[in-house]
Structure 1
Amino acid sequence: GMLVALLLRGYGCFDILLAETNDLRGKSAAEHTGCRIFNPIKDTPDQNDSFDLVIDCVGGGKTRELAMSAVKTGGTLVHIGLMDSQDGLDIRKLTLFEVTLIGVYCYTAADVRAAVKAIDTGLLGDLSWVETRPLSQGAQAFSDLDKGLTASAKIVLVPDSQT
């Protein structure tokens, strides 16, 4: 979600509302992206049928449900995450509101080149939102991410001799 917010900002979109359930990551995301943050577990904004573009980076039943409620008539819903295959899509609303649904799964060589260019040109900021840890701490890194104990949006594991 934070990466998408950074990309959108880099492409000129400045009215971005980012959902983040981890308060530490939410604070970091606000600092690095400048967008508005809300925790959908604690505070669901009354934004039904309000957004031209909604991007679900989690792909869970609850996030699809929130995304469906937020997209407006004629809007676009991009589904990236694959957390589960439970409910959440309102087919009636998709049809009646003429919402465009785009599923995104894999990357092409062009996507990789675009990612490298985005990093090189600073489109993704100074990358201080990325944490680096030794590979030997991989299990702890995944545990910290799962338990919401890190503010980092991404943790990169590198061979121990390179840290």
Structure 2
Amino acid sequence: MFKFQLNAITAVKALVWTAVRRMEVKDVPTPTPQPGWVLMRVRYVGVCGSDVGGFLGKNELRRPPLIMGHEFTGVVEEVGPGVSKDLIGRLFAVNPIIGCGHCRYCRSGLKNLCLMRKIIGIDYPGAYAEYVAVPADNLYPVSDPVRGALAEPLATSMRAVRLSGAGLGDSVLVIGAGPVGALAVKLLSIGGVKDVTVIDINRNRLEWAGRWGASSTLSVTGDEALKSLRETHPEGFDAVIDAVGSEDTRGLAINAVRRGGRVIFVGLHDNEVTIPGNLIVRSEIEIKGSFSYTDEDFLKAVRVLESGLLDPREGWVDIRPLERGQETFEELAGTETKYVKVMFNPGG
């Protein structure tokens, strides 16, 4: 198991999830890289919806006390045994998923499904800190520290869109205009999908979804949402991407898809849910989970960002110090945030 250990650098600042709905800035020992790992000075780290779920006590993989944070860029400052010193001083985005490397899933390029899978920010201390230790094999060079920190959520959206099978001429419903949902809209749009409806109760995020290619947006939920959707798409949507993952949104997704259509569950809000089983059978609805991404997805996300697809400085990303951690998580657990993505800059 990875352990914190004091080294030449003094104890560093970290945002620690200490209890349900409680984030605290604390001094923690600086991690020392084990063989094959590096020590990075964190530049920017995004707040993921799954981290917010953990903050609320609704993510079964996370247990306090924990330093979360798995969407990040950093500069290598120290290398562990067996790692080239040529990496020192270079900027990288980090794939936070660590596989065993030898199971059937890892050998098939599906490290995200590895039975021994570990994740930075869940199983190891994450990047809500000035320094973080990561495997050298998980580094991807990037040129911009803010844009690079979007590689992880973009890769997640990229996989969900690919699994949806949506293409030219299809209609798609995206439930949730947070980072994964909004980025999915962007990817669908540049892929030529013109009929994209987005639902979210946050009108600020819906505005960005509209800018990124949504043909229609709705700020209603439940039965009212389903009624509106059936008025515009009486046969249902060809594909639905649920980027929220609550019982209500998963039920809405199944009821809104057409017969023979496909539903992608990528949100991770509620673990146990009730779904209309007979409707699924009688309508031959295909339901598929989409968890994180493969190494190939992550590489493509980095390449897309390096090409300049997204500009995080347009106003949809807000960057904050770790000291605003409690405030930020309370804000993102609500419905009124102005931003699609919030990032921390641990170094100030």
TM-score class, shorter-chain normalisation, is 0.7 to 0.9
Deviations 1:49-94 (A, max 9, x none): 4100000111111001110111001111001111113434222122
Shift of 1:35: 3.3
Alpha-carbon contact 2:237-2:261 (below 8 Å) kept = yes
State the partner residue of 1:3. 183
State the partner residue of 2:261. 75
Aligned to 2:264, the other structure's residue is in SS state: strand
The one-letter code of the counterpart of 2:331 is D
Q: 250, 275, 297: which one pairs with 1:111?
A: 297
Alpha-carbon contact 1:63-1:88 (below 8 Å) kept = no
* TM-score in terms of structure 2 length: 0.43
* TM-score in terms of structure 1 length: 0.86
State the partner residue of 2:339. 152
Alpha-carbon contact 2:198-2:214 (below 8 Å) kept = no
State the partner residue of 1:41. 221
Cα RMSD after superposing both structures: 2.0
Q: 196, 200, 208: which one pairs with 1:28?
A: 208
Structure 1 runs of 4+ aligned residues shifted over 3 Å read: 32-35
TM-aligned CA distance change 1:35 to 1:158, over 3 Å: farther
Greater strand share, structure number? 2
**What percent of counterpart residues are identical?**
30
Aligned to 1:150, the other structure's residue is in SS state: coil
Aligned residues: 160
* Structure 2: runs of 5 or more not aligned: 1-180
Deviations 1:105-160 (A, max 9, x none): 1322112112112222344x323322222222222222222223322111111124
Shift of 1:34: 4.1
Larger-gyration structure (1/2): 2
Alpha-carbon contact 1:57-1:79 (below 8 Å) kept = yes
TM-aligned CA distance change 1:110 to 1:34, over 3 Å: same
